[in-house]
Chains A and B, each alone.
Chain A
């Protein structure tokens, strides 16, 4: 990689890191895991930078992050790490209205499996369609639908006060 390519890569990383780190943090739910995911995706993108610099490097990097998040190897490693870190803390009740529900939703999102969590992030944060999500993850549209349905059902199950939310509206 020559100096020009390296300068463009450094500029790209410096300009797009905050947005990509937000997505990585939403995908993983943990600061260190998000940093690791972003670095891993960036390490996979750097060898292909010459072919990507004139195309869409951010799209490639995002796709690598999405697929890396749901990969089998990463899931295995994450399982070992989750045994060491106590990432399943239950939020305490908050007397302010709605805050406890959001905290409960955060905890419920953390309890989702990586595949379902990724689909939720892509559908409700990135606002991608089912077809776009399927293309990004390399799976079928039916798989995206089923994962989304299971994720929402799981969130309903984990949120005991979701019926109250329906009543409040």
Chain B
């Protein structure tokens, strides 16, 4: 159901459509306009990209230079492993060969998964063995050099002859 106003609108639009102008060959100007439009799009894209680069490049350089440390600035020393003190109990070590008593642990003798020496082929994984420590001297009475393993001529604690 249409109202009289809607009928009037339809009639008026139909009359107006009949008065539409007749145009000739709209393809040529439309193609020219399409080329212009494409050229403008490409130009604006290039300009936008260039503007983005010009704006972002100084910011990126500033950001990069602020992240790297200054060459002359003192840097904090890297954390070292805590060295064993005299009171500290030595770390469990594999049994040493020989009767030598275990000496004070040295950093060089500490078993650690050290990297193999350069140039040497890395063999199968073996537990690192500590370097043999030099034999320590056994305390003995002063003046009497007794070879180890022999009874001393003077027993300690015996009264000396006067």
A: which residues have CB within 8 A of B?
A: 9-10, 13-14, 17-18, 21-26, 29, 31, 34-35, 38-40, 42-44, 46-47, 101-102, 105-106, 109, 120-121, 124-125, 152, 155-156, 159, 162, 165-166, 168-169
Contacts and interface: CB of A to CB of B under 8 A. Distances in A.
B30 interface: yes
A25 B19 contact: yes
A169 B15 CA distance: 20
B9 A39 contact: no
Contacts of A168: 4
A146 to B, nearest CB: 17
A58 to B, nearest CB: 14
A17 B16 CA distance: 16
Contacts of A125: 10, 13-14, 17
B9 A10 contact: no
Contacts of A39: 26, 29-30, 33
What band does the interface of chain B fall in when counting residues whose beta carbon is under 8 Å from A?
A: 20 to 34
Interface string B1-35: 00011101111111111111111001101110110
B93 interface: no
A120 B26 CA distance: 26
A62 B6 CA distance: 23
Q: Which of B18, B21, B22, B29 has the most CB of A within 10 A?
A: B21
Contacts of B27: 9-10, 13-14, 42
6 contacts: A18-B20, A21-B20, A26-B16, A38-B23, A44-B34, A152-B6
Nearest to A152: B5
B21 A25 contact: yes
Given A17-B26, A21-B22, A39-B30, A155 B16 contact: no
B33 A109 contact: no
Q: Interface majority SS on A: helix, strand, loop or mixed?
A: helix
A13 B34 CA distance: 15
B8 A105 contact: yes
A159 B8 CA distance: 11
A85 to B, nearest CB: 16
B24 to A, nearest CB: 9
A19 to B, nearest CB: 9
Contacts of B106: none
